[in-house]
Structure 1
Amino acid sequence: MLQFSFRRQRGMSYWGWLLLVAVLGFALTCASRMAPAYLDARYVTEALKVLAENPDLETMSAGQIKKELGRFFQINNVRGEPTKALQVIRGAKSTLVSIDYELRQPLIYNVDVVMKFNKQLNTARPELCCDALVDLEQFRKRD
């Protein structure tokens, strides 16, 4: 027969609770600092998918594309880097809409988290929306 001793079943110690609270606090701090950036990235993806469904996309000018995306961003309260990083690159047979940016978010004291987002819409392959298919470094070196 097993004998249970109530002395051994006291629950978590003070140090166990302190460690649990510290880990949960750190996780909540990370989530509260990084979640807005990932939410904005989700809205950027949705905006590009809505733009891909537009039948007039090939005939739209770069300004019209930026205006259309700007409206979507304004409705969904997307501000900052995603709106500044918008690029429209015209090719011979397609248009590339790219939103490539990097965010640096302070986490704790002098520790920062760097988040990189690269969303692209190529009108030649709209079904592959939002995956980074083209390396834009070659275009940036020309400028």
Structure 2
Amino acid sequence: MSVKNLSRQAGMSLTTMLVMVFIFGSMLLFLSQTVPAFIDDRFVKATLKSLTSGSMGIVGKSPRVVRDNLSKQFGLNNVRTAASDPKNWEIERIDEHYIVIIDYEVRNNLISNIDVVMHFRHRLDTRSPELCCTDRAKR
């Protein structure tokens, strides 16, 4: 390259740099509002899966024990979303087995009057625990 060509290269303009900062800042703001909800949701799934195994097994126990186990596990995992609210739980006993549905939404303010709304629904049927956390029913 000649010296003449190097002197014409100026780099990024101020406008381009401001656009890049705006885009990066917007992405960072969006991620900071959504990622914690998805992290909590992973703990919700893990808690539901743990209800069918080991000492936490709920088959044959009372609905109160199921509610207590859910509350304890959500407290231990520091689940802060609406998933930890018992109003969002449906616990149905069929013979010795349970169907546990956790249906909740997380609403976070993004900017001024713009909100990000995330809806989560998980279903556990203790008769087929391998299908945990997938809801095949229509909403």
- 1:90-101 aligned at under 5 Å gives the runs 90-92=93-95, 94-101=97-104
**What percent identity do the matched residue pairs reach?**
35
- 1:1-143 aligned at under 5 Å gives the runs 5-54=5-54, 56-84=57-85, 85-92=88-95, 94-135=97-138
> C-alpha distance in 2, partners of 1:90/1:133?
19
Gaps of 5+ in 2: none
| CA deviation map 1:41-77 (0-9, x unaligned) | 1110110111122474221211101111111111111
Cα contact 1:89–1:96 (8 A) shared by 2: yes
**Counterpart AA for 1:58:** V
TM-score by length of structure 1 reads: 0.84
CA change 1:46–1:8 in 2 (3 A) is farther
> C-alpha distance in 2, partners of 1:11/1:91?
69
Q: Say what the alpha-carbon RMSD is for the aligned residues.
A: 2.0
Which 4+ runs in 1 deviate beyond 3 A?
A: none
> C-alpha distance in 1, partners of 2:110/2:71?
29
Cα contact 2:89–2:100 (8 A) shared by 1: yes
> C-alpha distance in 1, partners of 2:107/2:128?
31
Gaps of 5+ in 1: 138-143
Question: SS at 1:47's partner residue?
Answer: helix
TM-score by length of structure 2 reads: 0.86
